[in-house]
Structure 1
Amino acid sequence: MFVRRLALHDFRSYPEVEVELEAGPTAFIGANGQGKTNLVEAIDYLATLESHRVASDAPLVRAGTERAVVRAELVKGERTALLELEITPGRSNRARVNRSPLPRTRDLLGIVRSVMFSPEDLALVKGDPSDRRKLLDGLTAMRTPRLAGVKADYDRVLRQRNTLLKSGRTNRQMDMSTLEIWDEKLASLGGELVAARIALLHDLAPHLGQAYLTVATEAAENRREVSAVYKSSAELSGEDVESVRESLLAGIEERRREERERGVSLVGPHRDEVVLTIGDLPAKGYASHGESWSFALSLRLAAFELLREDDDDPVLILDDVFAELDQGRREHLASLVSGAEQVIVTAAVADDVPKALLGHRFAVAGGQVTHE
């Protein structure tokens, strides 16, 4: 799988731009602030329907305009597909495949798959639990697009349940008889999400361990292994959907008084954590900068290997990665990923990019993208 053509209209800094791409490695080279990351962000957005840099769609639309359009021609084996996504902040986005409208934007998920590694990924190790939950949910949706709908339904139920709890906290005379209905819905949808997350971590584990041993050379020397373990907000009696659902209901019942006092839902996948460890210690708070960087990169490489194990290679994006690595690690990383069907790299200077990944090279400056 690879993207053959990318066209942007009023996306980020680009009024209009069109880039012809090829399989193999491609490098976008240019000074900071010239729009390199905007190009790869557009590709990743088509795959995930989320930005790795911002939480809302508004910054994706060029200042002074109302909407942005991302178009990409995708090649998968002998087949091609034209994907189009119209981004309109404050309204529902719209998607089309081969000029035909999709009923829902999320129906685009799974058509193009990508794995992006960027400096923001340090948050996977050092950031809040929400950063790690987002990683799991995004990867799960790419593998099983139906679960994106389950996540959207869960978020809707969570908002409505929280509204009821908050209202009951301020008005003690309020009828709370409908709370049990929301408990059931929260536990049913939450059971699917948690079971999917746990299954994903099981599938990811061997790839993660191997990736870390490969990326962090000091890990092999010290025989330090890494792990990613799911920590639920409820005491789980099992890992299948029904067992998780029952465990969530039991957890909700146990903390019902506390929830009503605080006016917020305290049990469910929105409160869960993924505990990352290096050796016997949690990575967060104990890992050095270099270890954290290696762990974050290993998580992305493990995701890449898992997706290519499921199907064709996803598009691999390395955004401003090599400036953080010494020459030896640059070459080592290049040897790991150079065989991917499509690798897209961004860098401020060409010397930071190993020769194996320079491939098709574009200069990015002043809003222009020029093939070199």
Structure 2
Amino acid sequence: MYLEHLSLTDFRSYAQVDLTLSPGVTVLVGSNGLGKTNLVESIGYLSTLSSHRVSQDGPLLRFGTDRALIRAQLVRAEQKVMVEVEINASRANRARINRANPVRARDILGLCRTVLFAPEDLALVKGDPGNRRRFLDDLLVVLLPRHAGTRSDYDRVLKQRNALLKSARSQHFSRSGVSESNLSTLDVWDEHMALAAAQLLAARLELLNRLRPHMAQAYAQLTDGSKVLRAIYRSSLQPIARHDDDSPHNADEPPGGGADENQDADDFLQCTVAELTEKYRTELLSSRIRELERGMSLTGPHRDELELFLGEAPVRGYASHGESWSIALALRLASFHVLDEDKHVEGNQPILILDDVFAELDAQRRRKLALMVASAEQVLVTAAVIGDIPEELSGSTIHVIPGGVAPNE
């Protein structure tokens, strides 16, 4: 797959910009602050319907406007498809495929596959567990768009259940004072929660199982290979993963979470969704008193952690800055290979986007990365100066200027 044409209207800093691209390597070069990242951000948005820079859509609209439009002409094998998404300030976003009638924005998921690496990806290594959970969930949506529903269903159930628990807590809950009606309502939400949690956990574990060999290989190729990158999934279904912080979406890793493989959630890979649902039912029931006292859901994928290790040492707190960059790159390169292996749609290799990556790498790692990605069908690279790009990534160059791009000479 490659992007043949990109058109933006009122997206970020651009009132209007049109970009013609070709397969192979394209470097977007220009001084910092001119909008290089805005261009690649829009392409990434088509892939996940979210930005890698902000959590809400508001900042994506050019200041003073109430809607933005992203239009892309994609080429997959011998077929072309036009994808449009309209980002709205005051109503639901809409999309079009091949200029047909508007559809839900999520209906375009899977049409534009991208893997985007940006400086913000250091948060995958150094940030809180929520960043790593989002990494898995965003990749799930790109790989299997139906999991957009899996994730939204879980988020909806979690929000409703937390509201009920918070309400019970605010009514001066005591162990003997909870009403039968509240318990009955909680029973209903526990059923919804158990099923939605089981579906999301099963999807994450299957995805991680596919990512692991590619993560290890990519990290070894980027470095001298003396340390092995590993990933361990800690589920809140496991006793070691229980923790009672007040911010479950930004929970730190569970106490005592060392590199003991026996505490990994890999055993759950053998479980069916029905079996995981039953495990969640049991755990939710055993946690009920604590949850009513705390006014929040203490069990579920929103409290899980993806722990990263170099050898036996946890990455957080031990990895150097250079190692952290290589780990983040390895995660994205692994994503690229998992998507590339997915052959459900012919010609569906993802577009690889490297946003301001090479300025942070030494010469040796620049060359290694360039050799690893140069053969991709389409690679889009941004850089402040063309000298940061290794010669192995020679290709087309587009100069970004204030408000747009310079015409081709």
Distance 2:114 2:146 in 1: 18
Give the 3 Å change call, closer, same or farther, for CA 308–279 of structure 1 in structure 2: same
Identity across aligned pairs (percent)?
Answer: 52
Instruction: Report Cα offsets for 1:165-198 as digits up to 9, x if no partner.
Output: 1111111466312101111101101101100100
What's the counterpart of residue 95 of structure 1? 95
Contact 1:67-1:88 at 8 Å conserved across structures: yes
Alignment of 1:307 onto 2:307:
no
Distance 2:290 2:119 in 1: 39
Shift of 1:285: 1.2
What's the counterpart of residue 42 of structure 1? 42
Distance 2:222 2:380 in 1: 19
Instruction: Report Cα offsets for 1:316-345 as digits up to 9, x if no partner.
Output: 000000000111211111111000000000
What's the counterpart of residue 261 of structure 1? 293
Instruction: Report Cα offsets for 1:95-115 as digits up to 9, x if no partner.
Output: 110012354211111111000
Alignment of 1:234 onto 2:237:
yes
Instruction: Report Cα offsets for 1:284-311 as digits up to 9, x if no partner.
Output: 1111111111100000001101111113
Alignment of 1:70 onto 2:70:
yes
For 1:63-212, list aligned pairs within 5 A. Answer: 63-101=63-101, 103-171=103-171, 172=173, 175-176=181-182, 177-212=184-219
Distance 2:218 2:101 in 1: 39
Contact 2:354-2:380 at 8 Å conserved across structures: yes
Distance 2:18 2:43 in 1: 13
Shift of 1:243: 2.2
Distance 1:89 1:234 in 2: 39
384, 395, 407: which one pairs with 1:348?
384
Contact 1:12-1:38 at 8 Å conserved across structures: yes
Contact 2:66-2:90 at 8 Å conserved across structures: no
Shifted more, 78-87 versus 227-236: the winner is 227-236
Contact 1:183-1:252 at 8 Å conserved across structures: yes
Distance 1:260 1:185 in 2: 17
What's the counterpart of residue 365 of structure 2? 329
Aligned-pair RMSD on alpha carbons? 1.3
Task: Spell out structure 1 runs of 4+ moving beyond 3 A.
Answer: 172-175
Contact 1:87-1:94 at 8 Å conserved across structures: yes
Contact 2:115-2:351 at 8 Å conserved across structures: yes
What's the counterpart of residue 305 of structure 2? 273
Distance 1:14 1:307 in 2: 30
What's the counterpart of residue 297 of structure 1? 329
Instruction: Report Cα offsets for 1:249-272 as digits up to 9, x if no partner.
Output: 121112111100111111111111
What's the counterpart of residue 245 of structure 2? none
Amino acid at match of 1:119: P
SS of the equivalent of 2:65 reads: coil
Shifted more, 195-204 versus 87-96: the winner is 87-96
For 1:13-32, list aligned pairs within 5 A. Answer: 13-32=13-32
- Compute the TM-score of the two structures, normalised by the length of structure 2: 0.88
Distance 2:97 2:341 in 1: 25
Contact 1:9-1:17 at 8 Å conserved across structures: yes
Contact 2:96-2:103 at 8 Å conserved across structures: no
Distance 2:17 2:268 in 1: 51
Report the count of equivalent residues: 368
Shifted more, 320-329 versus 167-176: the winner is 167-176
Distance 1:141 1:102 in 2: 21
Shift of 1:368: 2.2
Gaps (5+ residues) in structure 1?
none
Contact 2:2-2:23 at 8 Å conserved across structures: yes
Amino acid at match of 2:107: D
Distance 2:59 2:223 in 1: 35
SS of the equivalent of 1:100 reads: coil
Alignment of 1:316 onto 2:346:
no
Alignment of 1:284 onto 2:291:
no
SS of the equivalent of 2:91 reads: coil
Distance 2:217 2:293 in 1: 46
Amino acid at match of 1:121: D
Instruction: Report Cα offsets for 1:148-168 as digits up to 9, x if no partner.
Output: 111111111111111111111
Amino acid at match of 1:138: D
Instruction: Report Cα offsets for 1:182-215 as digits up to 9, x if no partner.
Output: 1110110110110010010111111111000001
Contact 2:72-2:84 at 8 Å conserved across structures: yes
Distance 2:140 2:90 in 1: 26
SS of the equivalent of 1:197 reads: helix
Shift of 1:359: 1.0
Shifted more, 206-215 versus 237-246: the winner is 237-246
Contact 1:345-1:357 at 8 Å conserved across structures: no
Contact 1:28-1:346 at 8 Å conserved across structures: yes
Contact 1:213-1:225 at 8 Å conserved across structures: yes
What's the counterpart of residue 9 of structure 1? 9
